[in-house]
């Protein structure tokens, strides 16, 4: 079993939006997802987030992607790390920026956006949108309701093709994939 496959995720999907939504104005902000590169290493080292993203960046066979508002690449609204398991993507970590957490958060939709991105990447790799992750027990029902995830084991969850398709269409309506796989 590889690193991170025993780490149970503890994230809440606050709202499924079609980008990210300003909690004060209700305005939708267009987003992009960018893969972090070596030059982002210094920023990761200095982040004051819950997880050690600098350490995660150096894990083998793991990619980290950041959610940004279009035209503003210097502000990361959330991060997600995943590895390619040859028939699905495995989500190791996911986190909203501190300013997008709690009662006073600035934007809704960050987590849904990041999960939808992984589903889209899974479709692009020919994995039918399949994404797997380990969940904290108290959030399993939440993931079943919000993401359509299903249990594989007591804590391992799976987002299958149909559910992945719905999430991808929510956030990336122009994405096309081989519909014969549905």
Residue 110 lies in a domain: yes
Asked, for residue 13, whether it belongs to a domain, the answer is: no
- 95 within some domain: yes
At 2 the pLDDT is 46
CA 129 to CA 159: how far, in whole Å? 8
- pTM of the complete model beyond 0.75: yes
Q: How many domains does the chain have?
A: 1
Looking up residue 32, the CATH number of its domain turns out to be 3.40.630.30
More confidently predicted of 4 and 122: 122
CA distances from 38 to 10, 13, 35, 62 (A): 27, 29, 10, 13
Q: How confident is the model at residue 117 (pLDDT cuts 50, 70, 90)?
A: very high
Domain range holding 134? 20-171
- The answer to the question of residue 176 being in a domain is no
Asked if residue 142 is part of any domain, the answer here is: yes
- Provide the 3-class DSSP secondary structure of residue 52: coil
Q: Which residues are bridge partners to 79 per DSSP?
A: 66, 95
């Amino acid at each position: 079993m590889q690193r991170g496959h025993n780490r149970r995720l503890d994230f809440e999907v606050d709202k499924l939006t079609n980008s990210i939504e300003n909690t004060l104005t209700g305005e939708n902000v267009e987003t992009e997802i960018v893969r972090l590169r070596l030059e982002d290493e210094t920023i990761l080292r200095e982040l004051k987030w819950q997880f050690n993203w600098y350490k995660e960046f150096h894990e083998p066979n793991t990619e980290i992607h950041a959610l940004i508002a279009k035209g503003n690449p210097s502000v990361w609204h959330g991060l997600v790390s995943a590895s390619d398991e040859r028939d699905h993507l495995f989500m190791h970590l996911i986190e909203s920026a501190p300013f997008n957490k709690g009662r006073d958060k600035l934007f809704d939709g960050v987590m849904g956006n990041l999960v939808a991105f992984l589903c889209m990447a899974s479709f692009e790799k020919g994995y039918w949108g399949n994404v797997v992750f380990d969940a904290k027990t108290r959030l399993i029902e939440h993931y079943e309701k919000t993401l359509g995830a299903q249990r594989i084991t007591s804590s391992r969850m799976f987002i299958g093709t149909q559910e992945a398709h719905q999430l991808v269409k929510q956030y990336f309506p122009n994405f096309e994939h081989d519909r014969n796989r549905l």
